[in-house]
């Protein structure tokens, strides 16, 4: 019996043909391009979302800072500032005397600075002020009392308001180092129980053309604060490009704003015309600047916040309503995104004393 042997030739291995390889490479290239496009789009979207979030946060934070300070304006401790003769504050005080507090034996002849005031020009203590933006001075004392003169900080300035009818002056103002100057008493009129001291606070808010001037050009809300005989500048919020205020004036003495003007020092006629502003009998005198500022009961705050970086493909062609003084800011025709934030802050320490029960 014969066994047939099957002969097998060498086995050949088949791979991709050139056409198949080119198709695979092309498909892979399209997949890579799609993946890269998705990543780039996601990064771009995330970047724009981050810019918008920071813009919103900065705008709202600026409103919050300004509102809280304005609402506390005019607070001097135990009594209201309307019990004294108001004077226009100096925007850049250099010593205690220039703060505007002056005590006399008669409270009616004692003077305190007005709660708020808007300088018409940039004072000497600030620089790099954004052209066309408003400034605001806020005057008050701290809401945190110092119960004993010995506990006062030597370099700070304090106001002590008397609660005792036998004290010869209604208040005393001095540095924390002058403890002997604070001898006014509490309502029980016991010398061992002095009236509390409160730190004098004066802030000047303005928009600067830069955050760290000399190194950037980012518009920034800044505050100049009176500290130890000088104004100290503090950057508050980046990206604030414009700041405007409308002031609500009480012309009938009931504590509510009757008319709004952008400039109580010299109100534009269009803002106080009979068609927009009710008249009183006798007519309210708009020519006395100090009276107008003293009758401010509320402030409409308008903040124009912008992104600190540009957005590709965006051109800002919009106008922005910033109140009476600047009803249409823009168009800026750049790649920066902007938004206006507005609110109303009431001066509780002034308006509350005029309200009828």
Q: Is 29 domain-assigned?
A: no
Considering the domain boundaries, does residue 9 fall inside one?
Answer: no
The per-residue pLDDT for 33 is 86
Residue 193 belongs to domain spanning: 46-351
Q: Which residues of the chain have pLDDT under 50?
A: none
The pLDDT score that the predictor gives to residue 109 is 86
Residue 14 lies in a domain: no
Q: What's the pLDDT at 11?
A: 60
- Beta carbons of 100 and 112 less than 8 angstroms apart: yes
Per-residue tokens: 310: 């540009």
Is 91 domain-assigned? yes
- Residue 133's pLDDT is 98
Q: Residue 5 falls within a domain, yes or no?
A: no
Please tell me the total count of domains within the chain: 1
Tell me if 250 is assigned to some domain: yes
Residue 15 lies in a domain: no
pLDDT digits (tens, 9 = 90+) for 103-161: 998 767 899 999 999 999 999 999 999 999 999 999 999 999 999 999 999 999 999 99
User: What's the pLDDT score for residue 333?
Assistant: 96
Whether 17 is in a domain gets the answer no
């Amino acid at each position: 019996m014969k066994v047939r042997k099957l002969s097998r030739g060498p086995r050949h291995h088949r791979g991709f043909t050139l056409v198949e390889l080119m198709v695979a490479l092309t498909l892979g290239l399209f997949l890579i391009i799609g993946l890269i496009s998705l990543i780039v789009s996601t990064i771009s979207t995330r970047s724009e979302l981050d810019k918008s979030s920071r813009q919103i946060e900065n705008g709202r934070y600026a409103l919050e800072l300004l509102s809280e300070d304005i609402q506390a304006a005019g607070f001097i401790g135990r009594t209201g500032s309307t019990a004294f003769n108001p004077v226009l504050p100096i925007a850049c005080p250099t010593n205690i005397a220039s703060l505007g507090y002056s005590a006399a034996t008669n409270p009616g002849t004692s003077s305190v600075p007005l709660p708020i005031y808007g300088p018409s020009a940039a004072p000497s203590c600030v620089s790099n002020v954004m052209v066309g933006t408003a400034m605001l001075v806020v005057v008050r004392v701290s809401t945190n009392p110092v119960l004993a003169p010995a506990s006062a900080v030597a370099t700070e300035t304090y106001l002590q308001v008397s609660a005792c009818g036998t004290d010869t002056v209604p208040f005393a103002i001095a540095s924390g180092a002058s403890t002997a100057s604070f001898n006014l008493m509490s309502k029980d009129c016991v010398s061992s129980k002095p009236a509390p001291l409160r730190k004098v606070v004066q802030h000047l808010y303005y928009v600067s053309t830069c955050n760290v001037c000399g190194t950037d050009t980012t518009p920034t809300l800044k505050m100049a604060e009176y500290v130890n005989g000088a104004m100290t500048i503090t950057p508050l919020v980046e990206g604030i490009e414009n700041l405007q205020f409308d002031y609500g004036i009480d012309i009938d003495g009931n504590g509510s704003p009757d008319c709004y003007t952008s400039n109580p020092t010299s109100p534009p006629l269009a803002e106080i015309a009979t068609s927009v502003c009710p008249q009183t009998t006798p007519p309210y005198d708009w020519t006395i600047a100090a009276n107008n500022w003293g009758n401010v009961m509320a402030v409409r705050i308008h903040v124009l916040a912008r992104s600190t970086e540009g957005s590709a493909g965006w051109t800002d062609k919009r106008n922005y309503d910033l109140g009476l003084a600047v009803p249409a800011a823009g168009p800026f025709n750049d790649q920066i995104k902007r938004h206006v934030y507005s609110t109303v802050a009431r001066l509780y320490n002034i308006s509350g004393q005029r309200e009828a029960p």
